[in-house]
Amino acid sequence: STAAVVQINPVPTVTSVLGNNAVCMGSNTTYTNTTTGGVWSSTNPNIASVNAAGQINGLQAGSSTINYTVTNSFGCSTIASKTIVVNPVPSAITQVNGNTTFCTGGSVTLVAPPADNYLWSNGAATQNITVNTSGNYSVTASLSGCTGTSIPVTVTVNALPSTTITASATALCPGATATLSVPTAATYIWSNGANTPSIATATPGSYSVTVTNAAGCTATSAPV
């Protein structure tokens, strides 16, 4: 018989992929391997790219796998793989329940996206806050170790109009007239039906006025 020589080529030895097991969506993360000469790759759709330095970017939420392939001079390859859990970053959108512009005495509720914990710009640590003062409100939320900060929501609280009635007199002799006035506003409705900033009356009674300012805020005076 004729002898045949069979050569079994060795496969390279590759160490484990080093790096975080859990990362945040959209982060840029670098992975390493102590074995040199390898090529990084991934066929997972949750990873946008892996460059030659082991840097991955464009991660989407879910489970992703990266590979480090070492090929020796014989053409034999060994692959070291690492599965990465990609956690979502809390949304940068704050839900607004109500109008963000209102009059004193009103309020609006701001709702953060679902997360593990919250910190609002006013110091609150709940998912929802009720706001009744003017300002810019944002929330930093953390979910599975990933943190996101919302775009600020501007709340404007308009003041109520002044309704203090100034009376020239509140006790009259027969035939005399009293003048009742309120500060300047947009519209006026007196209890006697007048719609001017001042009224003159010689009739005994209780007088009040409902005033609306330029911002659309309305208030009613105490009776005189």
What's the mean per-residue pLDDT of the chain?
A: 92
Label the pairing between strands 77-87 and 22-24.
Answer: parallel
Cα–Cα–Cα angle for 216, 217, 219, nearest 5°?
140
Strand segments, DSSP code E, in 72-213 are 77-87, 95-97, 101-103, 108-111, 117-120, 128-131, 135-137, 139-143, 146-149, 153-158, 166-167, 178-181, 187-190, 198-201, 209-212
| Residue that is written with structure tokens 């840029």 in the block | 28
Classify residue 37 by its DSSP letter: S
Structure confidence by residue, pLDDT tens digits, 35-65: 999 999 988 878 878 888 888 877 788 888 9
Instruction: Report the alpha-carbon distance of residue 182 to residue 162 in Å, rounded.
Output: 8
pLDDT of res. 52: 86
Structure confidence by residue, pLDDT tens digits, 91-113: 877 889 999 999 999 999 999 99
Structure confidence by residue, pLDDT tens digits, 149-195: 999 999 999 999 999 999 999 999 999 999 999 999 999 999 999 99
- Give the global pTM: 0.75
